[in-house]
């Protein structure tokens, strides 16, 4: 039996594209990655150290080029053993046995007093980042040297050494804590040698500086956005660890100087001068020259807990999603910053593969999956990642692959976000390709041409510090850092200690009231589920856009039939749906319509004051009382449920805060649709009180209220049509009339008998005799019906014909595990009882049909199946008469728990007192096409229900 089940499971997994990977296999891949890392590190130390890089084909050192214009080499080669330095922070994780010796070499041999011109960006991310990360690693080690080795995972009892320079014998143990301050001293020394690059009017630094002599005469003013704007992580941590504030101040100034030069669409160029002007060609995007600017925005927000940076990231990300992303949601291509037209030819480069990782950190996992699929198909087509690819023509522009880590990093982040084994298989493919295509006798070579396999005699330091490190993290299933900890753009882990975090300003604390940031949990696509909580899990390869992404890279078979609807296309596997991403960000203008010119737009109020916009100091919500001249920025929600207002002019709306509009000018001019339409003054939920009486008298008239016994309380959801459940007024209560309203007398509850074992669904008219009601009785009653068989509106119509004043609708009975869905329940939107729902109809109370049928004075409340079962047993088994009473959901809890019935007449001691009034608020959601703006509420407050009459609708 077990064998049969296993075979079926394998077939099921094959059909749904979810191929699992065992823990044993994953750990095998982890160990294999570690072995490759050790191979590359050992090769460098044996054949190249103390040079900056290894020549992996000739097994020799690679030094600076005598040609000063060879920036590709000289920007990185500072005569500081760069490969050792850059790899230092990875050793404790992947190869801890080599760590003690490496620490000694860095501490005792490396000096930045070098007469070399290097790139500010590369020296910061490779050297300074590694030193700071190493300092923090050493700071967390215990004081006892033996315990240090044990914490690092080094077997101190092993007398044999894997490498000649690795100390594992007890008598070779080195106290690593003695080098802790040296790491910080080296980082500080390097930082001070880089400061001359910031000697500009704008704060945008020069790209290059001499480590000994500073800024050279005639130095080029040209730099890139990523190079000038990706310093804030390392420089901020250096400042706070040393107390030297210059670094953080300069990095912050550079970052803001770039952002303050953005276009009206929040786009940045990729090349800028230190004087502050964008240089040709004036392209924006997420690839080379721009990538890490966005990365450091979101990561600085995490590490520094500073929304200055995260706000910039989300603003720039909205621009990327709006202008850089293609309509299908998969391609991010360069775009002209002024004309907003894609470049021609339009390329995607390997550096832009960093984006899915940033999208995961930002919470947009759905977009991350889509963008990653394009790079995945590029990798599996060429067995490596070409430097640039002309995606519209499906051809390679630059065929090299130097072992870049960006695609691997994004694969690691997406696996941690989704836990989909697909990403482990992607990692396995990458690992095998690196092993078979780039491994040499002493290291890993650069692929000069991914199509021919030609190699180049160079191993860049990020092959070890990032590419193999992220593969190891993927297979080791190590969660990515959070809580003021990040991986830098070079893969170094940096953490801002809690004691060094800056307290938010009073203004920041005020504007963030009510903030509730959340990251949506990824839901795998499923078959056989209407609510994404049940069904067969498909996985990434079962997504609708998986084959479409493949076609973008591999092309489409033109032999298939032509499809003219523009939403599908033919490919060699059948017909593929063309995905379409909703518009990500836009602006809406709130204004009363101009009768003479409906198309006119009023001038914007650039700084709306408290007479128009106010923030509630308790909830953090923003209230708009005057819409004239207001612009609302709207953005797509990462949970896919619709949109949120992101800003009201200069006022930023935080996640969790709502915007409430109560301007009467919207009454006649702004539609307030919702799904479904709700035109009801009823609260969404009410408290139901059930009272039982002994059936001792033949007449149906209820006994005295004092004779009843409170049985139970339950929550009910009101229908969006029919009777409005408003509080009873004093005049109604004193007149003795009974209605099904909040605070009114209990009403008799009728539970019809079952037929053929099925509860009465309320879809056919039943006689009063069938219901057990005497013809002479004038008592009002509510009838209980079961869900299914007909619409909620049909049930209300039937109940009206029978003579009921209300309907208590009961949910479906939950299905037992393995139980088939009954025929009468198939086709329903919800096949199991999923809790409370609000019964709805195709049209609301204002529709003429309601007036014609007289349905405005009969109400419906929905509650769960279990409540109905309890009530039925009381009637059938204990021969009780039941009544139902409706209360506000926020009724006094002490009163509810004590089972005392309220005497609401105490509110009206005499007829001369002011009549009972109640404030209700009618709300709706503004729609954008089929999507609601979730945090924007349009209200129409109504005061003083006089004589039971609600205010005029508007």
CATH number of 685-696+706-816+832-913, picked from 3.40.50.300, 3.50.30.30, 3.40.190.10, 3.40.50.720: 3.50.30.30
DSSP annotation of 758: B
- Using 50, 70 and 90 to split pLDDT, how confident is the model at 521? confident
As a whole number of angstroms, the longest Cα–Cα distance in the chain is 111
Q: 257-265 — which CB contacts under 8 Å span 24+ positions?
A: 257/202, 257/203, 257/204, 257/228, 258/204, 258/225, 258/228, 258/229, 258/293, 259/229, 259/312, 259/316, 262/316, 263/337, 263/338, 265/319, 265/322, 265/323, 265/340
Asked whether residue 707 carries a pLDDT value surpassing 60, the answer given is: no
Residue 684: what pLDDT?
80
Count of other CB atoms within 10 angstroms of residue 684? 13
Find, among 653, 657, 656, the residue nearest to 311 by Cα. Answer: 653
Active site residue 587: no
Asked whether residue 874 carries a pLDDT value surpassing 60, the answer given is: yes
- Using 50, 70 and 90 to split pLDDT, how confident is the model at 908? very low
Residue 594: what pLDDT?
60
Q: Taking the C-alpha atoms of 390, 396, 401 and 404 in order, what is their torsion angle to the nearest 10 degrees?
A: 20
Find, among 136, 33, 156, the residue nearest to 94 by Cα. Answer: 33
Q: Which listed residue (75, 122, 248, 428) is catalytic?
A: 122
Asked whether residue 359 carries a pLDDT value surpassing 80, the answer given is: yes
Count of other CB atoms within 10 angstroms of residue 412? 28
Q: Which listed residue (406, 490, 864, 885) is catalytic?
A: 406
Structural contact between residues 222 and 271, judged by C-beta atoms closer than 8 angstroms: yes
- Using 50, 70 and 90 to split pLDDT, how confident is the model at 297? very high
The domain 221-344 having CATH identifier 3.20.20.220: the answer here is no
**Domain limits, the chain:** 1-20+348-386+393-460+467-483+519-534, 221-344, 544-577, 582-670+917-954, 685-696+706-816+832-913
Strand, coil or helix: what is 773? coil
- Using 50, 70 and 90 to split pLDDT, how confident is the model at 943? very low
Structural contact between residues 898 and 912, judged by C-beta atoms closer than 8 angstroms: no
Q: What six digits make up the tokens of 376?
A: 């995945």
Residue 709: what pLDDT?
80
Asked whether this chain's domains 1-20+348-386+393-460+467-483+519-534 and 221-344 adopt the same fold, the reply is yes
Find, among 409, 406, 389, 284, the residue nearest to 353 by Cα. Answer: 406
Active site residue 222: no
Percent of the chain's residues with pLDDT above 70:
81
Contacts of 266 (CB under 8 A, 6+ apart): 315, 316, 318, 319
Asked whether residue 367 carries a pLDDT value surpassing 60, the answer given is: yes
Active site residue 86: no
What does the radius of gyration of the chain's CA atoms come to, in whole angstroms? 35
pLDDT tens, residue by residue, 181-191? 999 999 999 99
Residue 932: what pLDDT?
85
DSSP annotation of 953: P
- Using 50, 70 and 90 to split pLDDT, how confident is the model at 13? very low
- Angle at the Cα of 478 (from 473 to 479), degrees rounded to 5? 120
Q: Which of 10-14, 607-611, 672-676 has the highest mean pLDDT?
A: 607-611
Quick one: average pLDDT of 542-555?
Answer: 92
Sign, Cα dihedral of 625, 628, 633, 634: positive
Mean pLDDT of the chain: 84
Residue 1: what pLDDT?
29
DSSP annotation of 764: S
pLDDT tens, residue by residue, 638-669? 999 899 999 999 999 999 999 988 887 765 44
Structural contact between residues 173 and 156, judged by C-beta atoms closer than 8 angstroms: yes
Quick one: average pLDDT of 436-455?
Answer: 98
Quick one: average pLDDT of 37-49?
Answer: 98
Residue 499: what pLDDT?
95
Ranges assigned E (strand) in 446-591: 446-447, 455-456, 485-487, 493-495, 526-527, 536-537, 568-571, 574-577, 585-590
Residue 391: what pLDDT?
94
Higher pLDDT, 827 or 126: 126
pLDDT tens, residue by residue, 309-355? 999 999 999 999 999 999 999 999 999 998 899 988 899 999 999 99
Q: 48-51 — which CB contacts under 8 Å span 24+ positions?
A: 48/83, 49/81, 49/83, 49/84, 49/105, 50/81, 50/84, 50/109, 51/81
Which residues define the annotated binding site? 489
Residue 824: what pLDDT?
54
Active site residue 291: yes
Residue 675: what pLDDT?
37
Question: For the structural domain made of 1-20+348-386+393-460+467-483+519-534, what CATH number should be given?
Answer: 1.50.10.10
Q: Which listed residue (42, 53, 248, 291) is catalytic?
A: 291
Quick one: average pLDDT of 421-446?
Answer: 98
pLDDT tens, residue by residue, 451-490? 999 999 999 999 999 999 999 999 999 998 888 999 999 9
Count of other CB atoms within 10 angstroms of residue 369? 26
Which residues define the annotated binding site for Ca(2+)? 489
pLDDT tens, residue by residue, 758-787? 899 999 998 888 887 876 667 889 999 998
């Amino acid at each position: 039996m077990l064998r049969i089940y296993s075979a079926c499971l394998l077939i099921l997994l094959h059909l749904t594209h979810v191929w699992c990977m065992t823990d044993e296999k994953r750990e095998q891949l982890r160990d294999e990655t570690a072995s490759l890392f050790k191979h590359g590190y050992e090769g460098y130390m044996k054949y190249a150290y103390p040079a900056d890089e290894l020549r992996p084909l000739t097994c020799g050192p690679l030094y600076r080029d005598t040609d000063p214009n060879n920036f590709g080499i000289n920007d990185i080669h500072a005569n500081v053993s760069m490969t050792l330095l850059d790899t230092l922070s990875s050793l404790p994780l992947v190869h801890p046995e080599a760590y003690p010796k490496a620490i000694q070499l860095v501490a005792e041999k490396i000096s930045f007093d070098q007469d070399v011109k290097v790139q500010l960006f590369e020296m910061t991310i490779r050297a300074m980042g590694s030193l700071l990360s190493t300092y923090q690693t050493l700071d967390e080690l215990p004081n006892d040297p033996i315990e240090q080795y044990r914490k690092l995972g080094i077997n101190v009892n092993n007398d044999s050494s894997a490498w000649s320079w690795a100390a594992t014998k007890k008598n070779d143990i080195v106290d690593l804590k003695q080098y802790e301050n040296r790491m910080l001293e080296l980082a500080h020394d390097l930082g001070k040698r880089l400061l001359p690059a910031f000697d500009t009017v704008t704060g945008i630094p020069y790209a290059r500086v001499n480590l000994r002599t500073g800024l050279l005469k005639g130095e080029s003013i040209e730099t890139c956005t990523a190079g000038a704007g990706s310093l804030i992580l390392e420089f901020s941590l250096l400042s706070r660890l040393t107390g030297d504030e210059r670094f953080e101040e300069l990095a912050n100034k550079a970052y803001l100087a770039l952002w303050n030069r953005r276009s009206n669409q929040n786009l940045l160029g990729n090349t800028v001068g230190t004087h502050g002007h964008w240089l040709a060609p004036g392209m924006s995007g997420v690839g080379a020259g721009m990538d890490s600017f966005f990365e450091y925005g979101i990561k600085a927000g995490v590490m520094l807990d500073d929304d200055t940076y995260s706000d910039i990231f989300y603003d720039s990300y909205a621009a990327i999603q709006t202008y850089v992303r293609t309509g299908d949601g998969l391609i991010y291509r360069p775009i002209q910053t002024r004309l907003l037209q894609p470049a021609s030819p339009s390329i995607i480069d390997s550096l832009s593969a960093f984006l899915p990782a940033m999208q995961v950190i930002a919470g947009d996992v759905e977009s991350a999956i889509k963008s990653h699929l394009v790079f995945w198909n590029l990798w599996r087509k060429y067995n490596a990642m070409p430097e640039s690819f002309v995606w519209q023509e499906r051809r390679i522009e630059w065929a090299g692959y130097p072992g870049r880590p960006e695609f691997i990093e994004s694969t690691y982040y997406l696996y941690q976000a989704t836990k989909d084994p697909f990403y482990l298989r992607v990692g396995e493919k990458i690992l095998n390709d690196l092993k078979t295509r780039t491994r040499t006798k002493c290291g890993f070579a650069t692929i000069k041409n991914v199509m021919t396999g030609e190699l180049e005699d160079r191993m860049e330091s990020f092959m070890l510090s990032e590419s193999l490190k992220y593969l190891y993290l993927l297979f080791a299933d190590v969660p990515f850092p959070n809580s003021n900890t990040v991986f830098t753009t070079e893969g170094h882990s940096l953490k801002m200690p809690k004691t060094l975090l800056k307290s938010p300003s009073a203004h920041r604390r005020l504007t963030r009231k009510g903030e509730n940031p959340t990251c949506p949990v990824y839901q795998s696509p499923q078959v056989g589920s209407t609510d994404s909580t049940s069904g067969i899990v498909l996985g990434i390869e079962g997504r609708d856009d998986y084959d479409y992404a493949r076609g973008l890279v591999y092309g489409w078979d033109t032999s298939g039939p032509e499809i003219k609807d523009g939403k599908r296309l033919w490919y060699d596997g059948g017909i593929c749906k063309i995905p379409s991403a909703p518009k990500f960000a836009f602006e809406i203008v709130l204004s009363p319509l101009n009768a003479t010119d409906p198309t006119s737009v009023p001038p914007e109020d650039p700084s709306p004051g408290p007479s128009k916009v106010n923030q509630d100091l308790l909830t953090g919500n923003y209230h708009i009382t005057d819409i004239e001249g207001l612009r609302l920025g709207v953005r797509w929600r990462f949970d896919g449920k619709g949109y949120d207002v992101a800003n009201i002019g200069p006022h930023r709306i935080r996640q969790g805060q709502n915007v409430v509009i109560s301007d009467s000018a919207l009454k006649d001019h702004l539609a307030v649709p919702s799904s479904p339409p709700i035109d009801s003054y009823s609260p969404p939920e009410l408290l139901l009180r059930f009272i039982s009486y002994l059936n001792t008298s033949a007449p149906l008239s209820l006994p005295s209220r004092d004779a009843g016994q409170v049985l139970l309380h339950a929550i009910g959801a009101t229908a969006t049509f029919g009777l409005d459940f408003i509080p009873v007024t004093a005049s109604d209560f004193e007149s003795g009339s009974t209605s099904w309203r909040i605070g009114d007398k209990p009403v008799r509850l009728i539970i019809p008998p079952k037929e053929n074992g099925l509860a009465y669904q309320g879809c056919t008219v039943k006689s009063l005799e069938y219901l057990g009601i005497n013809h002479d009785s004038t008592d009002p009653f509510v009838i209980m019906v079961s869900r299914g068989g007909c619409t909620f509106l049909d049930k209300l119509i039937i109940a009206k014909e029978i003579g009921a004043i209300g309907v208590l609708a009961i949910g479906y009975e939950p299905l037992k595990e393995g139980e088939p869905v009954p025929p009468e329940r198939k086709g329903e939107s919800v096949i199991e009882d999923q809790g409370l729902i609000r019964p709805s109809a195709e049209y609301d109370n204002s529709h003429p049909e309601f007036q014609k049928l007289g349905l405005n004075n009969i109400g419906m409340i929905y509650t769960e199946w279990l409540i109905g079962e309890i009530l039925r047993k009381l009637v059938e088994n204990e021969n009780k008469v039941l009544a139902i009473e409706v209360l506000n959901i926020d009724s006094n809890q002490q009163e509810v728990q004590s089972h005392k019935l309220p005497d609401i007449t105490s509110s009206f001691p005499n007829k001369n007192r002011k009549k009972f009034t109640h404030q209700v608020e009618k709300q709706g959601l503004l729609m954008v096409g089929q999507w609601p703006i979730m945090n924007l509420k349009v209200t129409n407050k109504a005061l003083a229900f006089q004589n039971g009459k609600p205010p005029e609708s508007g």
